Amino acid sequence: MAKKTYDLLFKLLLIGDSGVGKTCILFRFSDDAFTSTFISTIGIDFKIKTVELRGKKIKLQIWDTAGQERFHTITTSYYRGAMGIMLVYDITNEKSFENIVKWLRNIDEHANEDVEKMILGNKCDMTDKRVVNKERGEAIAREHGIRFMETSAKSNINIERAFCELAEAILDKTSGRESAENQERVIIDRRNQEKAPGYSKCCA
Amino acid sequence: MSIFKARVKEFEDILTGPQDFIDLKQLRKLAFNGVPDVQSFRALSWKLLLGYLGPRRSSWTTTLAQKRALYKQFIEELVLPPGHESNGGGVDGGDGDKVDSGGVGLQDHPLSEGPESAWNTFFNDNEFLLQIDKDVRRLCPDISFFQQPTDYPCEIVVHSKGEHGRRLHERVVPAVLSSANVERKGLGMTKQQINLITKRSVENYAAMEEGQEAHWEVVQRILFIYAKLNPGQGYVQGMNEIVGPIYYVMASDPDLSYRAHAEADCFFCFTALMSEIRDFFIKTLDDAEGGIKFMMARLSNMLKSKDPSIYELLRSQELHPQYYSFRWLTLLLSQEFPLPDVLRIWDSVFADEQRFDFLIKICCSMILIQRDAILENDFASNVKLLQNYPPIDINVVIAHAGSLA
């Protein structure tokens, strides 16, 4: 087997309704490019990107899933292994926002209890077509104690930041849990808390 | 005579020869090695191999006429908005006292909430129509074919005379958008606004002007009608990738008398093919014989018997077959290769009487051909390799598959 070129491996999952831009978000993050001509994802797709956080090389293994109900039996089997889940809706599509609740329920049913979650309102460049305002996204995130961000894969807004914040949140957890592995440095870092609207542990 | 010419001659003899009865067994044998890209050979062979046309040539005229008339009826009953004059053949009295029992009664209206209301159904359809709309607008984006206007638009649909909703995608233009426009511009300009919106919606897969329609719009209608006629199954993502190549073949038939009916013929060929693979698309049948998991297991077992070392490696890497073979098998490999290669693969797959044995062999060969790379790679590289199969001469793969016992 190839030798390890990274310190940590994080498995992430992208879920959300069909057509909200999951594949585009992932493509922007992994290849820093945008195309509107993606064929629909059938089953599950996969990308890898290595990022550096706090001096650690973190390999992100990101699974991109098909949005339609039919594929749930196939895609939910990936929830279990995921350490972070990006839940994407489209700010120009009301229904995709309403379905966030359904996706959250899916996560509860199939993912690990301590999985890190983040809600993304994608296509925020399309201001003239917006039907879900930012406050509603923030509200639902606050309600569930989840991080939230508006993104645009097309205009490259917040994509990198979203993945890095999710990865950092996972890193917080793992470094807390596996501090024995890395004794010289125990990181308790909540610096980004105020920068991430909607992320709040004290909302209740 | 070159090998190619000899093959063309063979197809000519069997498809256009003087005999009335087409030897399907012989046709299968020929098509299995690929249908030459000349005349109507492929379109005609597929119609025969999928069972849309029977082997007796003298029956074709009647069959085609009947099926095409039936399809026209489907459009009138399922696509046109309720209350349309050719709906159910009722007289559109307009006075409010005549109720047409066959068609949509005049007591019915768009705001009716009755479960029997045709309008109610009309609006419910929009849910799956929206999904179809998203998918047909991203069909085969690497070629421009589906974005281009067809020479044979569906007349009753494209000449809407201002009536909204005959073009299916008009129904699923984001409602908030139009109301936002109405707010701004007042109610008098509705039609103009609609044009404005549809044109803007997706750059390349734009809707056409009155009197024209793009190929993707035709495919949308085929999928919509299929979903309406198969309510238990409805529309599932990926069906677009199945109908796409069939439609492409029918709609580029050099014989214009056939091409003119590409939509109807494609619909029935697609329906015939779906009757064989529909279980792949039904979640509750995943574990059933004929369901997708069963198919994936067949592939997995074949791999295990052909090359235990690859099988073991993939297993030890926890690279489950569904990471790649779910899509391979569900879509009959239509997303793994460029369109011309897909057509070539489907020649063999449709010619296979033990349908899908050969598909599984092709899939197995795809893995075996990459043996050396797979044995070298780690998990991530292997997923990538299998999910984005590298460019390859498709004949190499097919020949390899042919050599598997």
Strand order through the sheet with A116-122: A44-53, A56-65, A8-16, A84-90, A116-122, A147-150
User: Which amino acid type is present at position B307?
Assistant: D
Contact A27, A35 (CB under 8 A): yes
C-alpha A92/C-alpha A122 separation (Å) is: 9
A44 vs B194, residue with greater confidence: A44
Say whether B335 and A42 touch across the interface (CB within 8 A).
yes
Share of chain A above pLDDT 90, in %: 65
Residue with structure tokens 């042919």? B402
Q: Which residues of B307-322 are buried (b: 16+ CB within 10 A; e: fewer)?
A: beebbebbeebebbbb
Q: How many CB pairs under 8 A join A and B?
A: 82
Residue B188 C-alpha, separation from nearest chain A C-alpha, in angstroms: 21
Q: What is the mean pLDDT of residues B204-225?
A: 89
Domains of chain B: 39-82+114-176+210-278 (no CATH), 283-403 (1.10.472.80)
pTM, to two decimals: 0.83
ipTM over 0.90 threshold? no
Please tell me which residue of chain A has the smallest CA distance to B131: A18
CA distances B219 to A20, B80, B100, B132, B243, Å, are 22, 16, 32, 9, 7
Identify residue B392 by its one-letter amino acid code: I
For residue A166, the model assigns a pLDDT of 97
Domains in chain A, CATH or no CATH each: 6-192 (3.40.50.300)
Q: What distance in Å separates the CA atoms of residue B51 and residue B59, rounded to the nearest whole number?
A: 13
Quick one: pLDDT at residue A39? 80
Q: How far apart are the CA of B384 and the nearest CA of chain A, in angstroms?
A: 7
Closest CA–CA distance from residue B125 to any residue of chain A (Å): 15
The one-letter code for the residue type at B148 is Q
User: Considering only alpha carbons, which residue of chain B is nearest residue A9?
Assistant: B380
Average pLDDT on B61-80 reads 94
Give the integer Cα–Cα distance in Å for A154 and B223.
Answer: 29
Does the pLDDT value for residue B259 go beyond 90? yes
Using an 8 Å CB-CB cutoff, list chain B residues near A1: 378
- The pLDDT confidence band at residue A40, using thresholds 50, 70 and 90, is confident
Pick the residue from chain A with its C-alpha nearest to B203.
A36
Phi, psi angles (nearest 5°) of residue A199? -85, 120
Question: From CA B134, how far away is CA A151, in angstroms rounded?
Answer: 20
Taking only the tens place, the pLDDT of each residue in B117-144 is 777 777 778 888 988 998 998 888 888 8
Record: contact A131-B327, CB cut-off 8 A: no
- The answer to whether A120 and A150 are in contact (CB under 8 A) is yes
